[in-house]
Amino acid sequence: MQTIKLSVLDQSPIISGHTPQQAIQQTLRLAQAAEQMGFYRYWCAEHHSVMALADPCPEILITRLAAATSKIRVGTGGVLLPYYSPLKIAEQFRMLEALFPGRIDLGIGRAPGGDQATAMAMGQGRYPSADDFPDQVQYLAAFLDDDMPDDHPFRQVKAQPAGPTSPQIFLLGSSDYSGALAAQLGLRFAFAHFISARGGDVVMRDYKRRYQPSPREPQPQAMVCVFVVCAETQAQAERLAQSVDLRRLNMDYGVNAPVPTLEEAERYPYTDIDRQRIAQQRRRVVLGTPDAVKQRLLEIKTEFEADELMVITITGDYDSRLRSYELLARAFDLSSA
């Protein structure tokens, strides 16, 4: 029997030689497969003007995914709230909850999701500041739950369509900021180990220790998201990871390009400095055989005192990405849950 909730984060990678439309179709394929495999949640990420990632509007994409599935929870990992009106996001997710009651997650982030020029364009010439993020989160939760204070000027504003259930809210982060804010506001928290491999365990424990219960969440609920490459052998996993190695190297050098295929990664003329950078980035990846990956994920869960695990996998072809999730689901025996 499944002892933990294991979920999927999908950034809708655009692999070299494929179109963004094909990447979105592969997200749909993977979401349907993830439901059949027994994964608990399926989240889509928000990125802007990134040639390797196809999804700038997860709130639209998860509508399609929810319609194509029947029981898996779908959500955002996450909506980049500084760009948007909290009321409008509340309306969007109240609509999603009305369409798919009890299946919607709202992950919220404050990162720009792209470079500075793109962020300026999103802000109509002004760089969106995250200074108001705590207030935005509180407004969003209040609109979702119809819980604005009686003396607030927006008390009469209602986010429609109203209903008896509400999306689960997660604050997302890769530092102590979001963990501390989630604890203060009484919200769920998800830590991005795949972005920052060091210090997350301390952030998570602090979140739980400082947690202030809320009507929405009487107890702290924490999740850690880990980058995984799983294959039948260690050597195969090491080889498949070369595509994300080169993808992250491109990011370091400011190269905005699709995810390299394995063949492109193997042909790349790496320097010694490149290899040092790759070795440092590998700390953010858990790779190997199904048993080895399962053991390491359970260790991370214990270290983080996490209630749930989420995994993200990107390789140089869509079939090996799907196979990685299949092997992981089998290792955790998700189908029997």
5-228+289-336 CATH choice from 2.60.200.20, 3.40.50.11540, 3.20.20.30, 3.40.50.720: 3.20.20.30
Question: In this structure, are residues 331 and 248 in contact, taking their beta carbons and an 8 Å threshold?
Answer: no
Nearest to 204 by CA among 182, 227, 226: 182
Burial category of 271 from C-beta neighbours within 10 Å (exposed 0-12, middle 13-18, buried 19 and up): exposed
Asked whether the predicted pLDDT for residue 2 surpasses 70, the reply is no
pTM above 0.85, yes or no: yes
Asked whether the predicted pLDDT for residue 127 surpasses 90, the reply is no
**DSSP H/E element including 133:** helix 133-145
In the chain, the largest separation of any two C-alpha atoms, in whole Å, equals 64
Q: At what angle do helices 86-99 and 58-67 cross, to 10 degrees?
A: 10
- 38-48 per-position pLDDT tens digit: 999 999 999 99
pLDDT at residue 1 in the model: 43
The Cα–Cα gap between 325 and 332 comes to: 11
Asked whether the predicted pLDDT for residue 139 surpasses 80, the reply is yes
**Residue 171, amino acid:** L
Mean pLDDT of 176-205: 96
Could you write out the DSSP letters of every residue in 271-295?
-HHHHHHHHHHGGGEEEE-HHHHHH
The Cα–Cα gap between 101 and 29 comes to: 22
Copy the structure tokens of residue 145: 């739950």
